[in-house]
Amino acid sequence: MQDLTPLIGRQWLTSQEDSSTFNGCMKIPAIKNNTCQRCNAKVYARLPNKKLYCRECIGIGRIVEGDEIVRYQVDHDFEKINGGGLTWKGKLTPLQQQISDDLVKNYLAKNNSLVHAVTGAGKTEMLFDLIAKCMSLGKRACIATPRIDVVNELYPRFCEAFKKIQIGKYHGREFKEASFDQLTICTTHQLLKFYQAFDLLIIDEVDSFPYAGDKQLHFAAKQAVKTIGVRVYLTATPTDDLLKEVKEGKLKVLKLNRRFHGGLLPVPKEKLFLRPFLHKGKIHSKLLKEIKTVIEKGHPLLLFVPRVEQIPVYLEALKNEKDLQNIKVAGVHAGDKQRLEKVQDFRKQKIQLLVTTTILERGVTFKYVWVIIVAADDDIYTSASLVQIAGRVGRAKDDKTGLVLYCYHKYTKNLQSAIRQIRKMNR
């Protein structure tokens, strides 16, 4: 008989042609009343055979009219571990400890929480006591985040902090068989594979693409938690829907306006450009001067550009500059097959200058990094993303400040809003 333990709390597809039987599982039509039962999207597209299929969640397997969703729902708690398996020996600041304590209280009282904390506040460490409490009760938890890079950053940190707990990591770039993990760390898209699985769901970087504004992912997040489960949202820039839930009393808000080392957020400098940033393969002299200054001072530089297609053009121009011949320059974007390796090489300072898109705007930590944003007035940069990019700088105890430079042609509302938010959080 097949052992279904690894599938507890999961949901998966079975087609009409699949004759497999799963004892103790529940089956429902995958499409009902022209609505996808996995992501809640309205289904309108049809295959050549005229059958409906869902386009919204097709990335994790196509749902076709006539298919069924199988769910395995059983009560199965874990062994209660004294101290919740927490092996981390670090210490929180008094402000961090207050947030940590309140998160535990809210969890025990079955209250959902919103942690509104500045970038670099140490949100990960503030979760440790909460996770430990959940683990000590024999319950199951998940930390979900929109970005693969953040999953890869969080996973080793939690493995180090909870050496006694089975932790699973899931995202679209790595294949891993389903497992009944007590703690799951995954992308928000992976939540579409779970149904009422978790006693505690934490969503990090909740204002980030692709989670922000995606109704299907919001639906998946609520479906993945047990009916008596608890949700925690983490962000430096809360979205309107979360602030609405706070006003309605559905979320308890916990605020922290200081970074873990007590330092302030670096206030960005601004530079107006009248001519193009790049012209005939040459970088504008003012921009080039700023880049060279960062390199000369020995800081790794993240150079943000709005579009993927601009990366190779900037790389070519940078490599042609005599004063930059001796440094390692690279570019990275969401579709880059070497993305993870390049990010790691930049972290180890094997790469000194990394040209990137908004994929590195949040959730990643680099020591001593400085930042320049090219075309900060481009529509691709929301006020939230401008704040997040600024938050990459000054994250080390021995390097609390640094350069954040917004380069622009037009001083936009998003630029004004980002500066205003940073100054407000620093007060």
- Report the chain's terminal Cα–Cα distance, integer Å: 63
| Measured distance CA(132)–CA(104) in Å, rounded | 9
Provide the residue-wise pLDDT of the chain in tens; the chain has 427 residues: 567 888 999 999 987 555 566 777 899 999 999 999 999 999 999 999 999 999 999 999 999 999 999 999 888 889 998 899 999 999 998 999 999 999 999 999 999 999 998 877 788 999 999 999 999 999 999 999 998 888 988 999 999 999 999 999 999 888 888 899 999 999 999 999 999 999 999 999 888 888 888 999 999 999 999 999 999 999 888 888 888 989 999 999 998 877 776 678 889 999 999 999 998 888 999 999 999 999 999 999 999 999 999 999 999 999 988 888 889 999 999 888 898 899 999 999 999 999 999 988 877 888 899 999 999 999 999 988 899 899 899 887 777 888 999 999 999 999 999 999 899 888 7
| Measured distance CA(33)–CA(147) in Å, rounded | 32
* Structural domain boundaries in the chain: 5-71, 82-256, 269-426
CATH T-level fold of 269-426: Rossmann fold (3.40.50)
| Measured distance CA(264)–CA(423) in Å, rounded | 9
* Residue 373, beta-bridge partner list: 304, 406
| Measured distance CA(186)–CA(143) in Å, rounded | 7
Helix, strand or coil, per DSSP, at residue 141 = strand
CA–CA–CA angle 296, 270, 305 (5° rounding): 70
| Strand ranges, E, within 300-387 | 301-304, 329-332, 353-356, 370-373
| Measured distance CA(226)–CA(247) in Å, rounded | 24
Helix, strand or coil, per DSSP, at residue 374 = coil
| Total residues found in the chain within this entry | 427
Predicted TM-score (pTM) of this structure: 0.81
Residue type, 243: L
Torsion of CA 71, 77, 78, 83, to 10 degrees: 130
Q: Return the CATH superfamily for domain 82-256.
A: P-loop containing nucleotide triphosphate hydrolases (3.40.50.300)
| Measured distance CA(9)–CA(193) in Å, rounded | 9
Would you say the CATH fold of 269-426 matches that of 82-256?
Answer: yes
